[in-house]
Amino acid sequence: MNEFGTRYRIGIFGTSHGPCVGAKVEGCPAGSRISESVIQAELDRRSPGKGTVTSPRRERDRLEIISGIRNGKATGGPIVGLIRNLDTDSSAYDAFLRVPRPGHADLPAMVKYGGHHDHRGGGQFSGRMTAGLVIGGAIARQVLEKKGVSLLAQTVQIGGVILRKEVPLSVAERTVRTSAVGCADRATGDRMAQEIAEAHEAKDSVGGVIRCSIIGLPVGVGEPFFGSIESVMAAMMFSIPGVKGVEFGSGFRAAAMKGSEHNDPFAVKDGRIVTKTNNAGGILGGLSTGMPVEFRVAFKPTSSIARPQLSVDVIDKKPVELQIKGRHDPCIVPRAVPVVENSAAAVVLDLMLQGGFF
Amino acid sequence: MNEFGTRYRIGIFGTSHGPCVGAKVEGCPAGSRISESVIQAELDRRSPGKGTVTSPRRERDRLEIISGIRNGKATGGPIVGLIRNLDTDSSAYDAFLRVPRPGHADLPAMVKYGGHHDHRGGGQFSGRMTAGLVIGGAIARQVLEKKGVSLLAQTVQIGGVILRKEVPLSVAERTVRTSAVGCADRATGDRMAQEIAEAHEAKDSVGGVIRCSIIGLPVGVGEPFFGSIESVMAAMMFSIPGVKGVEFGSGFRAAAMKGSEHNDPFAVKDGRIVTKTNNAGGILGGLSTGMPVEFRVAFKPTSSIARPQLSVDVIDKKPVELQIKGRHDPCIVPRAVPVVENSAAAVVLDLMLQGGFF
Amino acid sequence: MNEFGTRYRIGIFGTSHGPCVGAKVEGCPAGSRISESVIQAELDRRSPGKGTVTSPRRERDRLEIISGIRNGKATGGPIVGLIRNLDTDSSAYDAFLRVPRPGHADLPAMVKYGGHHDHRGGGQFSGRMTAGLVIGGAIARQVLEKKGVSLLAQTVQIGGVILRKEVPLSVAERTVRTSAVGCADRATGDRMAQEIAEAHEAKDSVGGVIRCSIIGLPVGVGEPFFGSIESVMAAMMFSIPGVKGVEFGSGFRAAAMKGSEHNDPFAVKDGRIVTKTNNAGGILGGLSTGMPVEFRVAFKPTSSIARPQLSVDVIDKKPVELQIKGRHDPCIVPRAVPVVENSAAAVVLDLMLQGGFF
Amino acid sequence: MNEFGTRYRIGIFGTSHGPCVGAKVEGCPAGSRISESVIQAELDRRSPGKGTVTSPRRERDRLEIISGIRNGKATGGPIVGLIRNLDTDSSAYDAFLRVPRPGHADLPAMVKYGGHHDHRGGGQFSGRMTAGLVIGGAIARQVLEKKGVSLLAQTVQIGGVILRKEVPLSVAERTVRTSAVGCADRATGDRMAQEIAEAHEAKDSVGGVIRCSIIGLPVGVGEPFFGSIESVMAAMMFSIPGVKGVEFGSGFRAAAMKGSEHNDPFAVKDGRIVTKTNNAGGILGGLSTGMPVEFRVAFKPTSSIARPQLSVDVIDKKPVELQIKGRHDPCIVPRAVPVVENSAAAVVLDLMLQGGFF
């Protein structure tokens, strides 16, 4: 139903080349201070044109709030924010109804909607829809900040370049924002940018991994089983186009570990119970432990590439060589960093409101 | 809220050492043939005592259906199935309220419920609650089978032992069921059993990875964004205790791939449009493509181990060496195979019902 | 989906002549004191055999709690309570699949479920299912009482006998419980019992009206529009079989009133803002005003009567005279009093939890 | 959460004097023909300025669709429609924060939102929010019409004037639309208009009753208990500001009826099973019977009247005489007719989609 969350709920609407994209947000506590310029800044981070390689879309995403915020505060009613779509050229897309692009939703969408969907620019399957997540999340973050909860997403892998250095979160907070690729380490970030540039040069694309850390969560947020932090967070992360994997704490490495290695021993630090390691990723039994919540999100390489690709004509059922024209974004990972960060905020706020932590 | 799904919805209830564990299932189409013995067989697969290493619990999980099935058919009303808990010894658990077990939910649950939760045997955080998922899923599978949809979960990694051989699904269907560890290849399965035995010997435990394949899904199941197959499936998978990671198709490997490598080229086979590779894991834009849906689930090593571990006394805030008595299951992965398989069935049925594929 | 509520949610299951009827309750705050004997007492009020005229069902409804309460307190997990069905004779019901009873769900249920539903004793359409509402509501009431919120339902009309006397709620609290028909005034109650006896004599049945009052609600409970107290309460009330109308405060009389008459003037009493009249029924804009919430629920006469009635044979499409055998309850209103009272409690608790009044 | 429905879901947003009011609609089947001018016509029916007495708001409500409709067809994504608020004068409303208007939500809203809500023009409690219901409902009606389901709402009472004549629905369909007060009988309509004019003259207001009929529903729409047509429909109706009562079929009159009178006898007509009377209002066991669904909705007199009224100063806790300035609508019932009609359509579409009748 294009909606996510229970107490704090984001609904996204619009399509890539329709009149607008936007979000409806329910559950923001009345009286919360919400700065529209903070939301705008997050939208700018997500926008095409960021990073080393410019992307085809040129307009700035200008936020318009049409409900729910008055005098810089939430009214308690639904918040609706939208961005008008300008500068769209949909001429190329009709062809994909007949010859679907590999790696895109063209084919199953065609079957599902019988051709009635708005396919222009990818329609509701477009990465552009994540602007709605950023609007909803940037509101959530402002509410969370007042409660002492902060979030940081960072690029830890682009193609073959992996951030191996452990940069303290306090440092990363500063460096990630100034890095063109969202990497906490400058040298690694430069190599990532190089990786992207090379892919671009080769008319190809690369994937990557984003790590997200949530600091300051009280103990006991989340619910057992279906309301576990992992369940709800993963559901949100996998709604972002291009995500292929999500892991918490030790993640897939846990499979090869022994229990004696993996169990995080408890200790007391400054009068607070902590764990010495954080293989749990800050979550036990689906509930927050008080340690930082840590997870990683794998993105596939951008599907739209300039190279010729093999497809089929769905009417003739004949093979066709397809060449997608226009300018392509060779790596969406840098632009996905604020999407991960903000949509994670929405999940956390939802879980906290559900559990009565407000 | 201990419930999962919209059109087909499973609610689990009970606790590990309370009167029973069970499931309430809504949305099973009236008139569907549901065999109770098929559900019982799946519960037996999940049961302690299966596999090479016996686990502490001895009773058989005896299914009792108290609502919604009559004369072997669904009535259209809620189906409720339960299993009485027998043979429980809760004497050890009070101690964990004061000295939490590393890797368990003891500490955050204590904080969350103020000590009012049923902590015996892990209460609602116990892996035993997955019996409810198996009940709900085994019902879903029977409905799906009539529609030509089948599911297969298999163990592909236990600790350091990884199944590298590609066993065709048609073969695996037979071999997995007869393997003590749920592995499609006999030799690898033997080494996995050995890995578990060694962990047991060392009073330790090991993790693993389960692969799940869904065959026969029509094109277009799922919804964009929040209703994507990945989102809903991952939410279900991460509700299973011990899961640390979920990936679809190429998964985390996608991060290092080029778009030209990752995009699955379309082709025509027997008059049907297929893809030559399946990096997408059978899903594009959140929708099924008609190729097998493929995902992998990483489990951490069992938290309960016989070795002494470091914990703290939460009253004194002093370090304590904790030794958990009783018999421990050194690897839950083999028993998790039917849990993954059946709970995945519930997700698929829910999505199909939502999308009007029935 | 057989479930009601968001934060406090009741799911009912079972069928009239199946193994049991019961309820699953989610959202009861961990640590709440819940007495099983209080729930049992409410079930006894609802039970056949109460009132002046005995009804056909003889067994006592014995509550069994199988999840969620431990040592007299809610654990925070789902509460499941059930009542085994004993003493059922389903032999008569097969005939109604072919010749539907007037005023019953036989015909539309047959069409809807293709005959696969459990039609015995009315199946899931039976008034017996309201036992689940009473279980869920009796739990809610105990939680509300601790918060100073109390509820009182009373019979104010049976057939042509209308309670015209205004009995203060403080008096009614005592007298209603001891009245065989749930009437606050003894003389009127006697005439109501007479009305029922006469209907029984005539092999007929009568309807009635129940009034429900909720005292002690804080100001501001409820939400505008779809979450209004009226919306949620009416949805619950209309789920009770046999309900034909629901009105709040002035109700249908409001249509003939002038605004200057209907608007309740504000006043200050003991330092608190009150209204001089309560045409609003304690609700403005969907929110509680702090005055008692007042509503009335109209029940139709029981559908099962001993008189011969006109029906049709659905196969032959021929008229048939139908005579329903067995003993019939000539008026369900007295037994519906605790159903209204307790299910209203569930609604109020749900709204209070949603709005953070706990 | 300002949302209604499950498969077909309307969310309303905005406030009376904020930038806009609007609706987000989910679940409209892809490819459905949706005419924007039909929606606009329904908005015009709801608009101030209709009927015998002009109301204070002057602007036309101009519909703008920003998502979900393309080339006159639903795309399958969320539909978002909005109306900009023009011509608003909010100067008077600050006073009501201190001196609440009798019959309005001012006082409980103040307490609930701590003054952070948008109180101007009644904010989200304003009757103007029903424009969102009309948008959502007018879309639903167009989908229903293709399925042969039609709806008709008509004014059957204004103050003391009651429509006693039974006007056949086929006639009423034409006459209601041309009546200034939405009455099917011209003479009665004239007297209703007179009743409103007199109330206006007296600086007062009057209430009324709207009857709604739904024709062409297949047998078996709805669910037992919480999903009964009555439950869902009443929940929607009671979300409309000013509604005090809802009854189906015989309604409150049923309380005084005998079972032998009330039970609708079955008969065969033109090979179809019908009932000879329709006390059931077309619903048995919560399910449609194939007879017209009939219900009545009671509205209180408009709260805003020009007469001086008694209120209190909430700071001083002193009585205050309040005079509400500006022009007032002496009866909202005529304008509520399309609101009832269209929101009922949304409920019906939702239930039909849930039950697989599409």
Please, which residues have CB within 8 angstroms of residue A212's CB and are 6 or more apart in sequence?
A151, A152, A153, A154, A294, A295, A296, A297, A340, A341, A344
Given a cut of 60, whether residue D54 has pLDDT beyond it is no
Q: How many domains does chain C have?
A: 1
Please, which residues have CB within 8 angstroms of residue B16's CB and are 6 or more apart in sequence?
B85, B88, B120, B121, B122, B123, B124, B126, B128, B129
Instruction: Quote the CA–CA distance of D233 and D235 in Å, as a whole number.
Output: 5
Subunits in contact with chain A (3 or more CB pairs closer than 8 Å): B, C, D
Nearest to C266 among D100, D109, D124 (CB): D100
Compute the average pLDDT of residues B166-188.
96
**Best of D112, D133, D270, D297 to disrupt the C interface by mutation (most C CBs within 10 Å)?**
D112
CA distance B8 to chain D (A): 12
pLDDT of residue B58: 57
Subunits in contact with chain B (3 or more CB pairs closer than 8 Å): A, C, D
Mean pLDDT of chain C: 95
Count of alpha carbons within 13 angstroms of residue C1, beta-carbon side:
24
Per-residue model confidence as pLDDT tens digits over A124-179 = 999 999 999 999 999 999 999 999 999 999 999 999 999 999 999 999 999 999 99
Q: What is the CA radius of gyration of chain C?
A: 21
CA distance C8 to chain A (A): 12
Report yes or no: A39 and A139 within 8 Å, Cβ to Cβ.
yes
What number of residues does chain C have? 358
Subunits in contact with chain D (3 or more CB pairs closer than 8 Å): A, B, C
Residue D327 is given by DSSP the state -
CA distance B350 to chain C (A): 13
For helices D130-146 and D333-354, what crossing angle results, to 10°?
Answer: 50
CATH number for the domain including A319? 3.60.150.10
Chain A interface with C: residues with Cβ < 8 Å: 6, 77, 224, 356, 358
Nearest to D255 among C108, C208, C310 (CB): C208
- Please answer yes or no on whether D11 and A15 come within 8 Å at the CB atom: no
Question: Mind giving me the DSSP string for D193-228?
Answer: HHHHHHHHHTT--B-EEEEEEEE-PPTT-S-SGGG-
Per-residue model confidence as pLDDT tens digits over C141-177 = 999 999 999 999 999 999 999 999 999 999 999 999 9
Please classify residue A145 by burial: count the beta carbons closer than 10 Å to its beta carbon, then call 0-12 exposed, 13-18 middle and 19+ buried: middle
Chains A, C: CB contacts under 8 A, how many?
6
What are the phi and psi torsion angles at B85 (to 5°)?
-85, 125
Instruction: Quote the CA–CA distance of A20 and C205 in Å, as a whole number.
Output: 60
- Please answer yes or no on whether A286 and B124 come within 8 Å at the CB atom: no
Given a cut of 70, whether residue D53 has pLDDT beyond it is no
Nearest CA in chain B to A196: B258
Nearest to B256 among A159, A281, A309 (CB): A159
Give B-chain residues touching D224 at CB under 8 angstroms. Answer: 77
CA distance B23 to chain A (A): 13
Domain extent, residue B333, equals 3-354
- Per cent of chain B over pLDDT 90 is 91
pLDDT of residue C55: 52
Given a cut of 70, whether residue D39 has pLDDT beyond it is yes
Report yes or no: C152 and C357 within 8 Å, Cβ to Cβ.
no
CA distance C71 to chain D (A): 32
Torsion of CA A303, A308, A311, A312, to 10 degrees: 150
Per-residue model confidence as pLDDT tens digits over D164-177 = 999 999 999 999 99
Instruction: Quote the CA–CA distance of C327 and C306 in Å, as a whole number.
Output: 8
Instruction: Quote the CA–CA distance of C63 and C81 in Å, as a whole number.
Output: 7
* Nearest in space to C330 (alpha carbons), one of C350, C298, C300, C355: C300
- Please answer yes or no on whether A77 and D15 come within 8 Å at the CB atom: yes
Q: Tell me if residue D294 falls in helix, strand or coil.
A: strand
Confidence of residue C51 (pLDDT cuts 50, 70, 90): very low
Given a cut of 50, whether residue B53 has pLDDT beyond it is no
Instruction: Quote the CA–CA distance of D237 and D297 in Å, as a whole number.
Output: 7
Subunits in contact with chain C (3 or more CB pairs closer than 8 Å): A, B, D
Give A-chain residues touching D113 at CB under 8 angstroms. Answer: 30-31, 75-76
- Please answer yes or no on whether D116 and A30 come within 8 Å at the CB atom: yes
**Best of B66, B71, B124, B126 to disrupt the C interface by mutation (most C CBs within 10 Å)?**
B66
Please, which residues have CB within 8 angstroms of residue A91's CB and are 6 or more apart in sequence?
none
Given a cut of 80, whether residue C124 has pLDDT beyond it is yes
Per-residue model confidence as pLDDT tens digits over C179-205 = 999 999 999 999 999 999 999 999 999
Please, which residues have CB within 8 angstroms of residue C356's CB and are 6 or more apart in sequence?
A356, A358
- Please answer yes or no on whether A111 and B220 come within 8 Å at the CB atom: yes
Chain A interface with D: residues with Cβ < 8 Å: 1-3, 9, 11-15, 18-20, 22, 24, 26-27, 30-31, 65-68, 70, 73-78, 80, 82, 112-114, 116-118, 123-124
Report yes or no: B35 and B43 within 8 Å, Cβ to Cβ.
no
Q: Which range has the worst mean pLDDT, A233-247, B211-225, C38-52?
A: C38-52
Q: Tell me if residue C315 falls in helix, strand or coil.
A: coil
Given a cut of 50, whether residue A298 has pLDDT beyond it is yes
Given a cut of 90, whether residue C87 has pLDDT beyond it is no
- Please answer yes or no on whether C252 and D245 come within 8 Å at the CB atom: yes
Instruction: Quote the CA–CA distance of C67 and D109 in Å, as a whole number.
Output: 39
Report yes or no: D242 and C284 within 8 Å, Cβ to Cβ.
no
Q: Which range has the worst mean pLDDT, A96-100, B27-31, D92-96, D248-252?
A: D92-96
Chain C interface with B: residues with Cβ < 8 Å: 1-3, 9, 11-15, 18-20, 22, 24, 26-27, 30-31, 65-68, 70, 73-78, 80, 82, 112-114, 116-118, 123-124
Q: Tell me if residue B114 falls in helix, strand or coil.
A: coil
Compute the average pLDDT of residues A112-127.
92
Nearest CA in chain C to D217: C108
pLDDT of residue C52: 43
**Best of D13, D32, D85, D143 to disrupt the A interface by mutation (most A CBs within 10 Å)?**
D13
In this structure, what token pair is assigned to residue A115?
């051709």
Given a cut of 60, whether residue A17 has pLDDT beyond it is yes
Confidence of residue A1 (pLDDT cuts 50, 70, 90): confident
- Please answer yes or no on whether C75 and B26 come within 8 Å at the CB atom: no
